[in-house]
């Protein structure tokens, strides 16, 4: 190796430059994985975080009305469906209870008819 900033591939002999902070590299020509010698390893540069100084915009209903309505629509549809179900259940439960009670009374009454007929004879 004549250049200290590049590593020759042991498989094909092509020069490869190591990346900062990496221990291994892949040969650009033949794809062989090469371990970077300790003396050629460099530390990665620290990443700087940039703080965003964006001011939050105030949501005004006049400008965002369509978007707000689209977001509220599924909630309104769900509420309407629950109300429709409640009105149906509010009607069907008492109706079923009345039908059950009338049926029970009729069943008992018709079941006792033969008993009364035997007593009369």
Domain that holds residue 19: 7-40
Distance in angstroms (rounded) separating the CA atoms of residues 69 and 94? 37
Residue 109 in domain:
yes
Same domain as 68, residue 34: no
- Tell me if 45 is assigned to some domain: no
Q: Are 93 and 85 in contact (CB under 8 A)?
A: no
**Tens digit of pLDDT at every position of the chain (121 positions):** 444 578 888 889 888 888 888 888 888 888 888 888 888 787 777 777 766 666 666 667 677 777 877 888 888 888 999 999 999 899 899 999 999 999 999 999 888 888 888 888 7
Looking at the fold, whether 32 and 69 belong to one and the same domain comes out as no
Sign of the dihedral through C-alpha 84, 86, 88, 90:
negative
The residue among 51, 19, 24 whose CA lies nearest residue 35 is: 24
Both 26 and 67 in one domain: the answer is no
Q: Please tell me whether residues 79 and 116 are part of one structural domain.
A: yes
Question: Is 107 within a domain?
Answer: yes
Q: How many separate domains does the chain show?
A: 2
Give the count of alpha carbons within 13 A of 108, CB side only. 5
């Amino acid at each position: 190796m004549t250049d200290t900033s590049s590593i020759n591939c042991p498989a094909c002999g092509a020069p490869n430059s190591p990346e900062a902070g990496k221990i291994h590299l892949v040969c650009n020509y033949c794809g062989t994985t090469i371990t970077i010698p300790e003396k050629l390893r460099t530390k990665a540069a620290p990443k700087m975080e940039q703080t965003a100084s964006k001011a939050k915009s105030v949501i005004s209903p006049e400008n965002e009305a369509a978007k707000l309505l689209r977001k509220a629509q599924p909630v309104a549809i769900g509420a309407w469906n629950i109300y429709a179900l409640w009105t149906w259940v509010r009607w069907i439960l008492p109706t079923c209870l009345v039908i059950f009670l009338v049926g029970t009374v009729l069943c008992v009454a018709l079941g006792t008819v033969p008993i009364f007929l035997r007593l009369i004879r």
